Amino acid sequence: MGYVRLDVPEIVPLMNELYDVLDLYINHFIPTRKCIKKTKTGSKYRRVYDKTKTPYQRALHHKAIDASLKKQLRLEHVQLNPLHLKKQIDTLIKTIYKYQRDYGDSA
């Protein structure tokens, strides 16, 4: 699939909703690796990575984050369903592309 220019003003609320759902999905359920050390040997770099964790897990283990905020995050996490979030994301993306296809060329 090629690039699509999203230039229909009516899709802005849909894009904002998509970003809100993506934020929850990525931060709570998609693990990432963090580079904790990078050393250069000659012309090559050697990188050392931390264990793979989600941003949610990193926040829970961080000492500088207040316990009340961690409690809020835990409550939010318990209420989330990754399958439901993924379906929402897919539906929003399809709707956005449909709007663009139907109304984007009329301008």
Domain limits, the chain: 9-103
Q: Which residues contact 50 (CB under 8 A, 6 or more apart)?
A: 33, 34, 35, 36
pLDDT tens digit string along 2-55? 677 888 888 999 999 999 999 999 999 999 999 999 999 999 999 999 999 999
Checking if the pLDDT of 65 tops 80, the result is: yes
How far apart CA 6 and CA 100 sit, in angstroms, is: 6
Residue 55's closest CA among 33, 81, 86? 33
Of the pLDDT bands very low, low, confident and very high (cuts 50, 70, 90), residue 107 is very low
